[in-house]
Amino acid sequence: MPEEFETGEVVAVRGAVVDVRFSTDRLPPIDSALTIEAEDIASGDVLNGHANGEPLVLEVHSHLDTRTVRAVALQATAGLKRHVAARATGRPVTVPVGDAVLGRLLDVRGAVRDKGEVLSADTPRRGIHNPPPPLIQSESGAGGGLFETGIKVIDFFAPLSQGGKAAMFGGAGVGKTVLVMELIHAMVEKYRGISVFAGIGERSREGHELLTEMDRSGVLPRTVLVYGQMNEPPGARWRVPMTALSIAEHFRDEKHQNVLLLMDNVFRFLQAGAEISSLLGRLPSRVGYQPTLASEVAALEERIASASGAAVTAIQAVYVPADDFTDPAVTAISSHMDSVIILSRALAAEGFYPAVDPLASSSVLLDPGIVGDEHYRLAERARQALARFKELQDIIALLGVEELGPEDRLTVRRARRLQRFFSQPFVVTEAFTGMAGQSVSRADTLKGVEAILDGDADGWAEDSLYMIGTLDDAAQKDAASKAAGSRKDAAA
């Protein structure tokens, strides 16, 4: 049983930061929860979220002196006044875990937000602050192995690992959320574990779309959605990843089930931390970020580990502010990743989706001992062709392809076909593109890349390789295009 603590009194409210004074020096521990009853918050405020009788939850951040603590609110503090009572629980915020939360949408405190039935009182709960598993107990992906996604450019240039961590970095509007949604959909058949999705600081519209898409595709019964949205206070966005991790850890440790953890968007977690840091009065660090940036990222990422014979595979979307990949938040997150997937605005502008930059993306798994000699050799050849094409683009723009030497012209022809081959229609965009989504095995991807590099597709139209699945689809598309052209010429 947690130690009993006295009830304190609110003495200051500064946005999401609340100071609470106690009558004795027995202060509640750091990261423990304080609660303020809904009836003690001024009524009539539709923004405060407490009209339905839910208490306001605070989390102790620091001890200011022997009798005063500074806490961060996990909900809006509108209507909160000084001198109201704040009860110390003596334990961290706890959230419901286990099979009961599958198919449900929760907030940072574990409250149900999908307008469904309330969870039963005997639902097991777990604190949101837990240490990572000891290094001696951690496992490299619980047996490891490649984690095929069915997305050609990812499986080929930046393969993911079972139990690994991958991040997709990109600026606004280059397709991070669509890629996350497609990964969820593509893994329904292949992935027999539990999915936990953390929506950090995203728009309400995106959350609604994801919930609808998951329900339609049949993924929802094995998925838990945890949201701290853009319109919520920084405390909620700051702790939502911890809530999602606690749920994932329960399935890993207690149920020994593999877990797919998806987070969109991790940058918003650090952005909320910067807001909290500013409200706490800390001096900012580089580019205005909080001085605790590196330790906050490490505390989150080190908990994503495989143990107890089960793997936690994490795929994270990361917003890149102003497309600056040297931003401190971006570099701090990337240092913890096994696979780094870079989304390019230039490729998105040219209509290549997914807009993954194969030259900037990388993975520790792209090694002959893991993916095999053939895959590694083809990846090196493909990268060389694409890199040479990139070097020649300025010359092509000024003088045209005809001014290049025969060898460079051949390289450019094949690199352009490779670019188009790595585009791929997604299931989640069928309603917008009118094209059926495609999932491609790694073996078919290798076969297609080798054929293009060996010149088997030199005589095909470039458009026949655009937005297709396998090379066989491209062959059919090219044959159909040539047949249509012949009929048009005959009619003329």
Measure the CA–CA gap between 386 and 392, rounded to whole angstroms.
Answer: 10
Among 176, 268, 414, 420, the active-site one is 176
Which residue is listed with tokens 């918050």? Answer: 41
Please, what is the Cα angle at 106 between 102 and 107, to 5 degrees?
160
Nearest to 318 by CA among 347, 290, 343, 287: 343
Question: Active-site residue 417, yes or no?
Answer: no
Please, what is the Cα angle at 197 between 195 and 203, to 5 degrees?
155
Summarize the confidence of residues 260-288 as an average pLDDT.
93
Question: Active-site residue 176, yes or no?
Answer: yes
Number of other CB atoms surrounding residue 72 within 10 Å:
24
Summarize the confidence of residues 397-415 as an average pLDDT.
93
Summarize the confidence of residues 334-345 as an average pLDDT.
95
> Which of 186 and 205 is assigned the larger pLDDT?
205
pLDDT of residue 162: 85
Q: DSSP characters for 64-108?
A: -SSSEEEEEESS--TT--TT-EEEE-SS--EEE-SGGGTT-EE-T
- The sign of the torsion formed by the CA atoms of 300, 305, 308, 313 equals positive
Among 203, 216, 282, 377, the active-site one is 203
Q: DSSP characters for 142-167?
A: GG--B---S-HHHHHHS--BTT-EEE
Summarize the confidence of residues 341-364 as an average pLDDT.
94
Q: Are 336 and 171 in contact (CB under 8 A)?
A: no
Among 59, 202, 206, 275, the active-site one is 202
Q: What are phi and psi of 77, to 5 degrees?
A: -100, 15
User: Which of the four pLDDT bands, split at 50, 70 and 90, describes residue 188?
Assistant: low
Measure the CA–CA gap between 264 and 178, rounded to whole angstroms.
Answer: 11
Residue-wise pLDDT for 207-256, tens only, equals: 887 888 778 777 788 889 999 999 899 999 999 999 999 999 999 999 99
Element (H, E) at 18: strand 17-21
pLDDT of residue 48: 45
Q: What is the DSSP letter of 462?
A: G
- The chain-wide mean pLDDT, for the chain, equals 90
Residue 139 has pLDDT above 50, yes or no: yes
Number of other CB atoms surrounding residue 36 within 10 Å:
24
Residue 340 has pLDDT above 80, yes or no: yes
> Which of 127 and 488 is assigned the larger pLDDT?
127
Summarize the confidence of residues 58-78 as an average pLDDT.
95
Which residue is listed with tokens 């694409």? Answer: 386
Q: Are 333 and 167 in contact (CB under 8 A)?
A: yes
pLDDT of residue 147: 87
Residue 458 has pLDDT above 50, yes or no: yes
Helix residue ranges per DSSP H, 218-292: 234-253, 266-279
Q: What is the pTM of this model?
A: 0.90
